[in-house]
Chain A
Amino acid sequence: MSGQLRGYPRQDGRKGIRNVVAVAYLVECAHHVGREIVAEFRGEAVHLIGFPGCFPNTYAQDMMEKLATHPNVGAVLLLSLGCESFNKYQLSEVVAASGRPVHTLTIQNDGGTRRTIEQGRAWVEEQLVALRRAETVPMALDELVIGTVCGGSDGTSGITGNPAVGRAFDMLVEAGATCIFEETGELIGCENIMADRAATPELAAELRASVAKAATYYATLGYGSFAPGNADGGLSTIEEKSMGAYAKSGSSQISGIIKPGTLPPKGGLYLMDVVPDGEVRFGFPNISDNAEIVEMMASGCHMTLFVTGRGSVVGSALSPVVKVCANPDTYRKLEDDMDVDAGRILEGRASLDDVGAEILGLIEAVASGEETKSEQLGHREFILTYKSFEPAGPACLPSRG
C-alpha cells in the first residue's frame, strides 16, 4: 500500500507531499502586502506564513527557517518592510542552501505597497509554472512524519478520537514512520504512566520534568490549558482532559523529547515539549490550536491529525490537517469540516481498531495528494508568536547519544 505514495524530492533527502510557494511576511507591517499577493492565487498552492513581531527572537527565526525549508515547500518569497529586526538575510541564505528558489522583496526599497505586490505576484507566478512541472518520486510510509494535536475537546475526545489516533500511531511507528505528540500542559496528571513508556530511565526523568515544567508555567499564568467549552462538553479538570489527550500517543515506546523545530531522528514516537524554558515570558505557550500545528510543521510533520469533540474547523498553511471528529453529534452538525467520524465508536457502529485503520488509510491517501476537508475549504490558518527555549539535554534523544 505504501508503494503508491509519491513525494517531491528535496536536497536534504526528505520528500514533500505537497509543493507550495510559501509567501512569508517578516513583520506585521508586511502582512497586508503578503495577503494581497496570495489573494491573486486563490485555490492554488500559494500559502501565506509570517511572524508579526518587530523584536528579534531566536525561536521565531528558527521556526521560520524550518518552515521555509519544510518538505512541502517548493519556493519561498520573503516580504520585509525594511526596518524590522527579523534577520531576513540569514533566512534567505538558509532557504537558498536548501536548493529552493528564494526571493526577498523589501517594501521600503521596492516602491511601496502597490509595486511590491506587483513584483511579488510576478515572482510567484514564475515559481508556480516551475513547480507544476516538478517530478515526484516513490515515497515509503517510513518517510512520513505525522503530528497530532487536539482542540475543542469534550468528554468524547478521550474515548473515541484520541485513542483511535493512538491506534493509527501504533501502526505508523510499527511501520517505521515518525510520530509526534505534544502539549505537555495537557499531559498534567499523566507524567508517571507516560514515563513508564520511555526508551531509557534518563528519558523517563526528562518526560516527568517536561510535564512538571508545564504545570509550573501554567500555574504561574493562572490558567490551565482548559477552555470553557471543555467543561460544557463534560470535562471537569485539566488532568481529566490530559488523560484523554494522552491517548493520542498510542502505546508505543517513547523514543525521545524534542523542542519545536527539532527534526526527530528517523522513526519512532516523540513528545514535543512546547512549554518555553526559563522564567515565564511572552505569555501563554501556545495561544491557540494553530500555534501547535505550526510547531508540528517546524519539526517536519507532513500532516497533522487534529482530534476535536466540540468541533474545530481549522486547517493550516503548508501542510494538510486531518480532522478526526470524536463526537457523533458534532459530526452530524459539521460533517463538511470533518474527515473522520470517530464518534461512531460511541454509537457501536465501529471499533477503535476500525477507526484507527481508517485514519491510517486516510494518511496514505492524503500523502498521495487527496485533499483533506480543510484543504478543500481553503483553510490556511497560521500563527507564530514569541517563545524562548534552551537546547534539549542529551537524555532527551537517547538514540542520538
Chain B
Amino acid sequence: MTDLRLLLLSPADNVFVLREAVGEGETLVIDDQAVTLPNRLDRGHKIARRAIAPGEKILKYGAPIGSATAPIAMGEHVHIHNIKSDYTATHVIERKQEEPAQ
C-alpha cells in the first residue's frame, strides 16, 4: 500500500509528488513501509520512491529531470540539496533562517 497523499506520475518514476503539504513528524506509507518526515514539505515537492544512488537519474513523468548528487533514502525529500540539473545549474536566493520559505 502507498499513501494517497503521494502521486506517482509514471510507473517508471523513482519519485512521488506530494498532493498536499505534509507536516514535520508525520508518517507516510510507501510500499507498506512507514517513513517519518523530519521537516514539513509543501504541496508539489518530491520524495524518493526507493533508495537512489549518487549519479542516478531522477525520473518524473517517466523522464529524467536531473541526477542525484548524494545518496537518497526511500521517503527522503528530493530537491536542490541532493539532485542537480544535467543542463543548467539551478539558482536560488539564500534566505535568513527565521524567514519561512512559504
Q: A residues engaging B (CB < 8 A)?
A: 154-156, 158-159, 188-190, 193, 215, 218-219, 223-224, 226-228, 231-240, 243-244, 309, 327-329, 346-347
Contact = CB atoms under 8 A, between A and B. Distances in A.
A238 B85 contact: yes
B70 interface: no
B43 interface: yes
Contacts of B42: 155, 232-234
A224 B79 contact: no
A219 B43 CA distance: 30
A155 B45 CA distance: 6
A228 B92 contact: yes
Contact of A239 (B7, B64, B78): B64
B43 A215 contact: no
A224 B90 contact: yes
A158 B61 contact: yes
Contact of A346 (B19, B63, B91): B19
B43 A346 contact: yes
B87 A239 contact: yes
B60 A243 contact: yes
B88 to A, nearest CB: 3
B83 interface: yes
A236 B44 contact: no
A188 B87 contact: yes
A239 B85 contact: yes
A236 B79 contact: yes
Given A232-B102, A234-B46, A239 B65 contact: yes
Contact of B65 (A159, A236, A329): A236
A224 B85 contact: yes
Nearest to A326: B44
Interface string B5-18: 00101000000011
A158 B15 CA distance: 15
Contact of B44 (A155, A189, A193, A227): A155
Interface in B11-47: 17-20, 42-46
Main secondary structure of the interface of A (DSSP, over half): loop
Nearest to A231: B92
A239 B19 CA distance: 21
Contact of B85 (A237, A309, A327): A237
B84 interface: yes
Nearest to B46: A234
A155 B90 CA distance: 15
- Residue in A154, A237, A244 with the greatest tally of chain B CB atoms within 10 Å: A237
B16 to A, nearest CB: 11
B72 to A, nearest CB: 12
B51 interface: no
Interface in B54-102: 58, 60-61, 63-66, 78-80, 83-93, 101-102
A348 to B, nearest CB: 9
A240 B44 CA distance: 12
* Ranked 9 nearest A-B pairs via Cβ: A155-B44, A224-B88, A234-B44, A240-B65, A237-B85, A234-B45, A237-B66, A228-B93, A156-B44
A226 B63 contact: no
A329 B43 contact: yes
A15 to B, nearest CB: 38
A272 B78 CA distance: 32
Given A231-B90, A346-B19, A189 B43 contact: no
A263 to B, nearest CB: 32
A393 B95 CA distance: 46
Given A237-B90, A240-B66, 10 more contacts: A155-B45, A159-B9, A159-B44, A189-B86, A219-B87, A224-B89, A226-B91, A228-B91, A231-B79, A233-B44
A79 B88 CA distance: 41
